[in-house]
Amino acid sequence: MYFEEWEPVYERIIKEMGYSRLQDEASARMLRHMILNKRLIDVDDLIPLMSGVVNVVGAAVVPEELTDIDGTVICAGSSAKTLIEANLIPEILITDLDGDLVPQAECCRRGAVAVIHAHGDNADLIQQHLHLFNGPIIATTQSRPDLLMVNMGGFTDGDRAVCMARHLGAKKIRLVGFDFERPIVSEGEDLSVKKTKLKWAKHIIFDMNPPSVEIIW
């Protein structure tokens, strides 16, 4: 998904959620500055990983779902712990640096590409925790991209992972550990906000899916 297609959806999301595009862009500028001493890779380097089945692993994953995984694995940040415990290291980790970062950083230490996202609410997390990720990095924004900041669409870690896979040419995407009806709420997180986020994630994954891409769920 290119920004011209994503921007109208993004504007609807921030209007409904009460978010600030200016804050999103400020956080993106900070991340852009902080990654200059990191090992950056071009997002197109991931295209070869999209040739077969691409498994996007979400927060609701349970170990039993990981026993027959075949193909590329993209991990939404909060599912990293379950993957590590199953000794399954994803090729790609999508994260906005929320939740338990120890298993996320461990995935990257063991070879996963970290796709780190900036938005208005996570500037403090970027400042505090970016140093944990010392492997290859791609930086993303939900506002306008530039030479360093990528935007392939998506709002939450899970649907951003799906958008990235589609953008890079995946034709068959398997959703593992996705539950759009029963949100997993972190301490201090508002349940109604989480439900709205999942509503948008479901819309982005299914309603915006091109006919050429098969979603297995």
Report domain extents, the chain. Answer: 3-216
| Cα diameter, the chain | 43
Encoded tokens for 212? 């050429």
Q: How far apart are CA 83 and CA 5, in angstroms?
A: 33
Per residue in 96-127, pLDDT tens?
Answer: 999 899 999 999 999 999 999 999 999 999 99
pTM of the model: 0.95
Q: Which residues, including other chains, have CB under 8 Å from residue 150's CB and lie 6 or more apart? A: 43, 138, 139, 140, 141
Q: Which long-range contacts (CB under 8 A, 24 or more apart) does 106-109 make?
A: 106/80, 107/75, 107/80, 107/83, 108/133, 108/134, 108/135, 109/134, 109/135
Q: How far apart are CA 48 and CA 25, in angstroms?
A: 30
- 191-202 helix and 3-17 helix, angle to the nearest 10 degrees: 160
Encoded tokens for 27? 């956080």
Per residue in 164-175, pLDDT tens?
Answer: 999 999 999 999
Asked if pLDDT for residue 186 goes beyond 90, the answer is no
Confirm if 146 and 33 have CB atoms less than 8 A apart.
no
Amino acid 187: pLDDT: 67
DSSP string, 85-111: HTT---SEEEE-S-S-HHHHHHHHHTT
